[in-house]
Amino acid sequence: MSPRHEHDGDEYDLARPAIATEELTKQYGDTVAVSDLDIAISQGTVYGFLGPNGAGKTTTIEMLTTLLSPTAGKAHVMGVPVTNRERVKQHIGYLPHEPPVYETFTAREQLAYAADIRNLDVSTSDERIDQLLERIGLLDAAGDRIATYSQGMRRKVGLVQALLHEPDVAFLDEPTSGLDPRASRTVIDLVTEQVRQGTTVFLSSHILSVVEELADTVGVLYEGELVAEDSPTELVDRTESEDGQGTLEEAFLEITTDREHV
């Protein structure tokens, strides 16, 4: 495994943000899905992306992963503009809301496929697949077809698929949804481990406890606009209720309710 951040002379400043957007906007006809988004995420950190359904979280992720072209504004991933699709792809891993897997494949086949389409070295990737499968508790079921898996197991396969190639930036859309507490714990630990090894994680979730635990910074998206951005503790402090015992949940509710009254 080569040291990261040094790829074929494609060296970049460690101080440069892993993800940076400037007035990033996406419009569908008259509907504004994401409006003038400005965020900067440091390398090796976890950014928690919160927001109610339809706030524009997935649209944002799809723009950052090059699946959607922005209507206006700029976005860079590891210093590469998202318009340079081929180079952005080399830096990212993506777990969409619905894990992209062939149901007729076994978990091991699916992960080998993911390694193949990234043209990873077979022997090292096989080793890593085994490691990750064991780490996440799927080793016993790795030979079964994904069609027989539960939602949670599929999500785990999708997560391993997104982290397999040790991406610089991982976009995880709801990585713990459908998982029981123990499985959630495994996933959180795995993500923490990856972050420690230098991966930047862009995490979108409804489950606030996960965000609260993992995220260094939390951004709250509401109707396409970033309405709050801070560390989880700061966010809680800022909206602290009278009894002095705030949670991120209360903070989130307060922020989004405020907006509704505006």
Partner 1 sequence: MNGRGNANSLLQDLLVGWYIARGQATDLWRRNDSRRQRVIYGLLALLVFPTVLLLIRGGHSLGVRSRTGIDIEIIAVTRNLLVPGLIAFAILGGLGGAQSLARDPVQSVLLTSAPTRAIVVGKFLYFLGVWLTPMGFLFVPVLAFAIGARSPLFPVAVFVFIIPVLVLTLLIGHTLAYLLWVGIEQLGLPEYARRLLTASLSLLLFVLALTGGFLSGQASATADELPTADPVTPLGWYADLLFVGSPLGGSLGIRPLFAAALVLVSIPLVFAVQVRIAPKFWYASPSRSRGVDDSSVSGDAPDFETPPSGTIGRLGGLTARSQLLRVARGYVTGALRRPDQYVYLLYYSMPILAVILPVALESPAALPPAIGATLVIGGVWVAGALFCLNPLGTEGAMLSQLVLSNTPGKTFVHAKLLIGSCLGLGITLFGIALYVITGPFVTPAFVLVVTPLVGGVVIASSAFALGIGSALPKFETSEVFDSVETLVPSVVAALVHGTTTLLLTGTAVALAALVTAADSPVSLTKQGLALGVFSLVVVVIIDGSRRYAVARLESYGREQTGVGRVFTIYAAAILSLMAVVLGQSVGLSVALVVGLDRPVGLLLPILFVAEYVGYVLVALGFLYVTRRGVAYLDIAWPSKRDIGIIAGGVLASVGVWVLASVLITGLGLPVADHPLFSAEDGDPWLLLVLVPLMLFVNAPVEELLYRNVIQKYVQEWFSPRIAVGVASAIFALAHLPAYFDSNLPSVAVTLSLLFVISCLWGVIYVRTASVLIVSVVHGLYNALLVSSSYIMTVT
Q: Are strands 217-222 and 225-230 parallel, antiparallel or unpaired?
A: antiparallel
For partner 1, which stretch binds (CB under 8 A), given 39-47, 49-57, 58-66, 227-235?
A: 58-66
Count of CB atoms situated within 10 Å of the CB of 197 = 11
Contact at 8 Å (CB) between 89 and 66?
yes
Binding mask 82-101 for partner 1 (x = CB under 8 A): ---xx--xx-xxx-xxx-xx
CB of 21 to partner 1, least distance (A): 17
Binding mask 175-214 for partner 1 (x = CB under 8 A): ----------------------------------------
Q: Among 58, 60, 184, 256, which residue interacts with partner 1 (rule: CB under 8 A)?
A: 58
Separation in Å, CA 43 to CA 14, 19, 51, 110, 163:
7, 8, 23, 29, 16
Separation in Å, CA 26 to CA 39, 70, 75, 197, 224:
15, 5, 12, 33, 9
Q: What share of the chain is helix, strand, coil (3-state, %, to 5)?
A: 35, 25, 40
For partner 1, which stretch binds (CB under 8 A), given 37-45, 121-129, 133-141, 228-236?
A: 121-129
Binding-site size, partner 1 (CB under 8 A) = 46
Q: Spell out the residues 6+ positions from residue 103 whose beta carbon is closer than 8 angstroms to its own.
A: 145, 146, 147
CB of 67 to partner 1, least distance (A): 5
Q: Among 23, 54, 72, 104, which residue interacts with partner 1 (rule: CB under 8 A)?
A: 104
Q: Among 11, 16, 28, 180, which residue interacts with partner 1 (rule: CB under 8 A)?
A: 28
- 81 part of the interface to partner 1, by CB under 8 A: no
> Rule CB under 8 A: which of 138-167 touch partner 1?
161-162, 165-167
- 2 part of the interface to partner 1, by CB under 8 A: yes
Q: Among 35, 43, 60, 65, which residue interacts with partner 1 (rule: CB under 8 A)?
A: 65
Q: Name the CA radius of gyration of the chain, rounded.
A: 19
Contact at 8 Å (CB) between 139 and 130?
yes
Question: Strand, coil or helix: what is 85?
Answer: helix
Report the distance separating Cα 238 and Cα 228, nearest Å: 10
User: Which one, 155 or 165, has the nearer CB to partner 1?
Assistant: 165
DSSP state of 168: S
Residue ranges binding partner 1 (CB under 8 A): 1-2, 7-8, 28-29, 58-59, 62, 65-69, 85-86, 89-90, 92-94, 96-98, 100-105, 113-114, 116-121, 124-125, 128, 161-162, 165-167
